[in-house]
Amino acid sequence: MTTIVIYHNPECGTSRNTLALIRNSGVEPHVVEYLKSPPSRALLEDMIATAQITPRQLLREKGTPFAELGLADETLSDAALIDAMIAHPILINRPLVVTPLGVRLCRPSEAVLDILPDAQRGAFAKEDGEQVVDATGKRTQPA
């Protein structure tokens, strides 16, 4: 059985689309509502490293205390940015997905297709109607 974890915000359309794409591969992921159960510092650091992104790339600006906390300051260290995300989990961009094939910040949602071990089982369209996977389970747009 494939274990997949999604750090999910049910209020976010991108996160909902990503979750639906995982389920379209026949897997029921472990869903972590990270605003209620944020990752530990060690886990967050590990996911950032495994995803090969920087803390700044994971930082969410919209709808967060980003500006109030002065996080636009490019001189802030990675540790300071992670401190802010631990103190204010809303600053963690979503969704983060962990599979046996890697970790991705799935923005856009179809980025999850790159790390799903199992193929899509049928057609999939995002909530806005954009077709992402055709009836044969193949991606409709290049990666």
pLDDT at 110: 96
Q: For residue 12, indicate whether it is catalytic.
A: yes
> What structural domains does the chain harbor?
1-34+94-143 (3.40.30.10)
**CA distance readout (Å), 111 to 69, 82, 141:** 30, 23, 11
The single residue of 12, 19, 21, 58 carrying the catalytic annotation is 12
Residue 46 belongs to what H/E stretch? Answer: helix 41-51
Distance of alpha carbon 129 from the chain centroid: 20
Can you give the pTM of this predicted structure? Answer: 0.94
pLDDT tens by residue, 98-141: 999 999 999 999 999 999 999 999 999 999 999 999 999 999 97
